[in-house]
Chain A
Amino acid sequence: MNYDQARYGDDERYEPLLSEKDGKAVDPGEDSALPDELTRDSLELPELSEPELARHYTRLSQMNWSVEAGPYPLGSCTMKYNPSFTDVVAADPNAAVHPDRDPETVQGTLKLLYGLQEYLAEVGGMDAVTLQPPAGAAGEFAGITVAKAYHEANGNDRSEIIVPASAHGTNFATAAMAGYDVVELPSGEDGRVDLEALEAAVSGDTAALMLTNPNTVGLFERDIEEIAGIVHDAGGLLYYDGANLNALLGRARPGDMGFDIMHYNVHKTFATPHGGGGPGAGPVGVVDDLAEFLPRPQVREVGSDSDGSDVDGGAGDDAAGYELFDPERSVGKVHGFGGNWLVLIRAYAYIHRLGDEGLLDASAKAVLNANYLAERVEFDVPYGPFHHEFAATSGDRDAADVAKRMLDYGVHPPTTKWPEMVPEAMLTEPTEAESKASLDDLAAAFNAAAADPVEDLEAAPSKTTARRIDQTSAARNPRLSWHALAGSDDDS
């Protein structure tokens, strides 16, 4: 497939920074409503016309890859198609309300939040859900904070969290942020948790094991009940990292597997406008024993206790109304307000649209697509059988070089060099959104890059807006603003 990404200007030029187009200094104190000593002396921001800005941002957009442009098969990132209607409902003017409104005056907002809590509890097999964490890693932090509160309430201070070597980096960072020592668990020969290693790792110090299932090479942890038993017997909790939940929708639920706490990356599993790095949302579900520790506030139906169990709900249901309440021994807050509302709306709309059938089909096709692509790719693919993603290895070729070459074939490459258990890993997750033709193109790009001379790989990419970028100099000589750039231009 031929591909050329937009670029602007000739060889000497690039799309100028806003600051290079024009700039005007103003003295905000000049005619100020405030005394001079309280105001700044000058302010220099670009002064551009709306047509100039419209062109600037349109050009920037054209120099950017997106799911609508083509496949984005980043393993463990679940970049699926984001249906347009979720944007329409998120933009509803009646959804734009202030968080300090009297709950009685925002019944629509609370109804949706309640409905989403119920949907997520059902999908995850959990008893209670908070929607507050604004991203997956924030969900991990909220979940681990709840785990810590639970242990402390039981007079049972614990100091360690066990994390498999192949886990997402956020798991390690979250455990450390929450004040725990991280015990890294090596993977077994089959790519799964090694039960003997787990037995050796758990102790009376174990607060939790953080695990994703299927794991980060797409393998289902078949021994999950034994794993849960080992952790629970030691008095620890089992934490589910929801990054790979798309592979399980309607087929299995973390709660049924013995997980006590989980976060949902609703921006991965449901509607996914990832926005170039966020916002996401990382709701957290827990089993009954932990519900009283969840962040405050939560939403419930008026006149109910905190436990809501029926889910047919949706916006058709007519309860007496909805109210906020603080769980009895709440850990408090992990966000200044209630989290990333515009993302939660999209997630609710997506689940509401798909229903049981659609969710089940999403996971079916995500898994079918991953297996089909794994079959077509001429790289070694260790381990198996796979669910939604697989880690191919580029063998004696540098995975990063192969990835850059794939850009020239008009596809976005997979996640490279991770997880470390697969050498030169290319962790690939096509999702259910790709057609067979698109998967064939992806496989063709993999296979062409595999056959190209190494010089071509090292010279790639050539069809993108920028050629290979010097990452080392960016880190050695950090220039992080146009002020710094102007300074460094002066130096040269």
Chain B
Amino acid sequence: MSGRSAGSPFAPHTLETTAEMLAAVGADDEADLFDIPESVAFDGEFGIPARSEREVVGDLRDTFARNDDLTEFLGRGHYGHYVPALVDDLSARSEFLTSYTQYQPEITQGFLQALFEYQSMLVELTGLPVANCSMYDAATGLAEAALLADRVRSASGDTVLVPEALRDGKRSTLDNYVDGSDLSVETYPSDDGTVDLEALRERVGGDVCFVYAENPTVTGAIEPELAAVGDVADEHDALFCVGSDVVALGLLREPASVGADVVVGEAGALGLPTAYGMGLGLFACREEYLRQVPGRLVGASEDAADHRAYTLTLQTREQHIRKERATSNICTNQAWVALRAAMHLATLGASGLADLAEDCVRAARDLAADLDEVDGVTAPLHDRHHFREFAVGVDDAHGVAAGLQERGYAVHVLDGDTLQVCVTDLTAGETDGLVAAFTEVAN
């Protein structure tokens, strides 16, 4: 554009305006405004050429086109479900996408109400009365839950008990988060894919302040005796934390009814596409921990005209007020992803969510049954009900996975003779192809 200075296309000034503004602040040149000692000034170049919008869009499309086109039967904590078009469309409205944290609630009622509705739906799904409006992902949610236990149960033990089979990303994040506290992390074993109740009973003692169990587990098994796990935790005055996800909670017993004190997990299973691991951490807990909850909370109040209004509340827990005494350092969270999850949930409704969850059981059962027919394949490996995914026994897991990949299918390799397969509404139509590929490569 004529008269506009070269540089950022998103800085609006013409050369003339720039000159006018420089004159107003009494500077000759933009560089004069920088109060940087010469010894630390940067006068080099990054070597990054500027590009047109068309070039960037084309370049990135070419880059992403380098990703192979595989049908992903992958899960283990990150799930692709069909996201309704309404979610993409309305969440992309700039009023949602480019707004900031709601520090001026009077002018941000729309987002606050949407987050209040998100919290409300998580309360319904978990059965617990308090849900925050997001952690980063399931791993950081679990880690923050352990730190919560440290705050509310400091009188008893300092051992955090988690399943041996916990995903590495969760375990390692947990280890890092508790490193600055008095907590230490230990594991308990599983039996046929779910909690080994006897081993857990033997392990839990006065030193344990936190017991974590997943339902479904990382291999998709549905925990048959979750209430008994809760009882074991309760007998020893340990906090009982259940890990789940927003789709599974639409069908499985609400964690509060089996004694869960805290529920964490993925809420991005709804609303997010497969986003290379980007997530949305759900976090819900009992009322008595309200003032120890990490992260943001939206509450209902009234405005000066006595109308219902929403606002961020209990901010004295948060880092911008409480500094080093805050319940957590979390500030920016996953609010827009929470909005998308809420939209997706609202689009499904109760019956739609229940149907989707039922399909996650049926599709996994059907696929396992079909794979079990294939010579050299045992599916599911564990004698349990499954949700979306299950472990598969084969002779040469690496070889089978490579063969499947050549045929256009991605599955997990757990160890030398175990694979894991996950099916959702996105891939349920392609299971025949997967079974045929297994038939070709498994024996």
Give the 10 A-B CB pairs with smallest separation, nearest first.
Answer: A337-B277, A361-B7, A275-B336, A179-B180, A277-B335, A336-B139, A355-B50, A99-B277, A108-B66, A64-B110
Q: Which of B117-125, B200-208, B229-237, B432-440 lies at the interface with chain A?
A: B117-125
> Complex: how many Å from CA A156 to CA B302?
54
A316 to B63, CA, bound (A): 9
Residue pair A473, B302 in contact (C-beta under 8 Å):
yes
| Complex interface: chain A residues within 8 A of B318 (CB) | 169
Bound together, the chains give a CA A5 to CA B254 distance in angstroms of 40
Instruction: Tell me which of A57, A403, A436 contacts B13 (CB under 8 A).
Output: A436
Given contacts A96-B80, A368-B21, contact A67 B60 (CB under 8 A): no
> In whole angstroms, what is the CA distance A432 to B315 when docked?
31
- Bound-state Cα–Cα, A331 to B113, Å: 39
What is the minimal beta-carbon distance from A179 to any residue of chain B, in angstroms? 3
Residues of B162-182 contacting chain A, CB below 8 A:
167-170, 172-173, 175-177, 179-181
Complex interface: chain A residues within 8 A of B90 (CB)? 54, 57-58, 61
Inter-chain pairs besides A61-B93, A135-B136, A485-B300, 19 sampled, C-beta below 8 Å: A33-B358, A37-B253, A45-B353, A50-B86, A53-B343, A94-B61, A112-B63, A134-B140, A134-B278, A138-B136, A170-B319, A277-B134, A279-B337, A315-B62, A358-B9, A368-B18, A412-B107, A436-B13, A466-B106
Q: Does A208 contact B (CB under 8 A)?
A: no
B95 CB to nearest chain A CB (Å) = 4
Whole-angstrom CA separation of A64 from B262 in the bound complex? 32
The residue from B77, B96, B139, B323 contacting A333, defined by CB atoms under 8 A apart: B139
Interface residues on A, range: 35 or more
Residues of A within 8 A of B99 (CB): 64-67, 72, 274-276
For A267, give the chain B residue with the smallest CB separation: B332
Using a CB-CB cutoff of 8 Å, which residues 21-59 of chain A contact chain B? Answer: 23-26, 28, 31-35, 37-40, 43-48, 50, 53-54, 56-59
**How far in angstroms is the closest Cβ of chain A from B103?**
7
Given known contacts A108-B67, A335-B277, A341-B277, A98 and B22 CB-to-CB distance under 8 angstroms = no
Within 8 A of A (CB), among B279-300: 279, 290, 296-300
Given A64-B96, A355-B49: A98 in contact with B331 (beta carbons within 8 A) = no
Contact B329 A177 (CB under 8 A): yes
Q: Which residue of B lies closest to A69 (CB)?
A: B95
Residue on B with the closest CB to A138? B136
Interface size range of chain B in the complex: 35 or more
Question: Among the interface residues B47, B106, B343, B362, which one has the most CB atoms of the partner chain A within 10 A?
Answer: B106
A176 CA to B330 CA, complexed, in Å:
12
One of B92, B170, B290, B353 near A336 (C-beta < 8 A): B170
**Residue-wise interface mask of B (288-332) relative to A, using a CB-CB cutoff of 8 A (1 in contact, 0 not):** 001000001111111111011101011110111111111011111
Q: Which of A448-484 contact B (CB under 8 A)?
A: 459, 461, 464-471, 473-475, 478-484
Q: Do A436 and B21 have beta carbons less than 8 Å apart?
A: yes
Determine whether A332 belongs to the interface, using a CB cutoff of 8 Å to chain B.
Answer: yes
CB distance from A98 to the nearest CB of B (A): 4
Is the CB of B2 closer than 8 A to any CB of chain A?
no
Contact between B334 and A278, CB atoms less than 8 A apart: yes
**9-residue interface stretch from A82-90, A196-204, A283-291:** A82-90
Residues from chain A with Cβ under 8 Å of B349 in the complex = 24, 45-48
Chain B interface: which of A229-237, A247-255, A300-308, A391-399? A247-255
CB <8 Å contact, A28 and B357: yes
Is the CB–CB distance between A60 and B110 below 8 Å? yes
Find the A residue at minimum CB distance from B215.
A38
Complex interface: chain A residues within 8 A of B416 (CB): none
A422 in contact (CB, < 8 A): no
- Contact: B78 with A100, CB < 8 Å? yes
> Do B103 and A484 have beta carbons less than 8 Å apart?
no
List 19 contacting pairs A-B, 8 Å CB cutoff, sorted by A.
A31-B358, A54-B90, A63-B108, A63-B109, A89-B61, A119-B46, A134-B334, A179-B180, A180-B180, A222-B35, A251-B42, A274-B332, A335-B277, A336-B173, A337-B78, A364-B33, A436-B21, A466-B307, A480-B298
Contact of A279 with B56 in the complex, beta carbons under 8 Å: no
B59 part of interface (Cβ distance < 8 Å): yes
Residue ID in chain A nearest B330 by CB atoms: A137
Q: Mark B350-364, 1 if CB is under 8 A from A, else 0.
A: 110110011001100
Residues B332 and A335 in contact, CB atoms below 8 Å apart: no
A488 smallest CB distance to B (angstroms): 8
Q: Tell me if A242 counts as interface (CB < 8 A to partner B).
A: no
On whether A105 and B51 interact (CB within 8 A), knowing A136-B331, A371-B33, A469-B311, the answer reads no
Tell yes or no: B395 within 8 A of A by CB. Answer: no
Q: Roughly how many angstroms separate A352 CA and B381 CA in the complex, as a whole number?
A: 47
Contact: B345 with A45, CB < 8 Å? Answer: yes
Partner of A107, one of B33, B67, B336, B350: B67
Q: Is the CB of A332 within 8 A of B302?
A: no
Q: Mark B121-151, 1 if CB is under 8 A from A, else 0.
A: 1011100011101101111100000010000
Tell me, rounded to whole Å, the shortest Cβ–Cβ distance linking B230 to chain A. 14
Q: A108-B63, A357-B50, A436-B20 are in contact. Are A364 and B86 (CB under 8 A)?
A: no
Least Cβ–Cβ distance between A137 and chain B, in angstroms: 5
A385 proximal to B (CB < 8 A): yes
C-alpha gap A105/B302 in the complex (Å)? 53
Tell me the minimal C-beta distance from B46 to chain A in angstroms: 5
B155 at the interface (CB under 8 A from A): no
Residue interface mask A101-126, B partner, CB < 8 A = 1: 11011111101100000010011010
CB of A352 within 8 A of CB of B48, answer: yes
Report the Cα distance A44→B63, complex, angstroms. 44
Chain A residue numbers with a CB within 8 Å of B59 are 314-316, 352
Find A24's partner among B88, B167, B251, B350 (CB 8 Å cutoff).
Answer: B350
B24 and A372 contacting across the interface, CB-CB below 8 Å: yes
Asked if A225 lies at the interface with its beta carbon under 8 angstroms from chain B, I say: yes
Q: Which of B39-58 contact A (CB under 8 A)?
A: 39-42, 45-53, 56-57
Give the contacting residue for A365; candidates B8, B60, B69, B147; CB below 8 A.
B8
Within the assembled complex, what's the spacing in Å between the Cα atoms of A172 and B311?
25
In the complex the two chains form, is A43's CB within 8 Å of B250's CB?
yes
B169 adjacent to A311 (CB under 8 Å): no
Minimal beta-carbon separation of A31 from chain B (angstroms) = 8
| Nearest CB in chain A: distance from B273 CB, A | 4
Contact B136 A368 (CB under 8 A): no
Verify if A97 is at the interface (C-beta below 8 Å from B): yes
Q: What are the residues of chain A within 8 A of B357 when measuring CB–CB?
A: 28
A contact residues around B94 at 8 Å (CB): 66-69
CB < 8 Å: which of A46, A219, A224, A353 contacts B56? A353
**Contacting pair B307 A98 (CB below 8 A):** no
Asked if B358 and A46 make an inter-chain contact with CB atoms under 8 angstroms apart, the answer reads: no
Asked if A364 and B358 sit within 8 Å, CB to CB, the answer is no
Residues of A within 8 A of B115 (CB): 276-277
Q: How far is the CB of A443 from chain B (nearest CB, A)?
A: 11
Cross-chain contact A108 with B65 (CB below 8 angstroms)? yes
Instruction: Tell me whether A43 and B354 are in contact in the complex, defined as CB-CB below 8 angstroms, given that A101-B410, A357-B6, A467-B304 are known contacts.
Output: yes
What is the bound-complex CA distance between A375 and B21, given in angstroms?
A: 10
User: With A138-B140, A278-B335, A481-B119 in contact, is A58–B93 under 8 Å at CB?
Assistant: yes
How far in angstroms is the closest Cβ of chain B from A435? Answer: 4
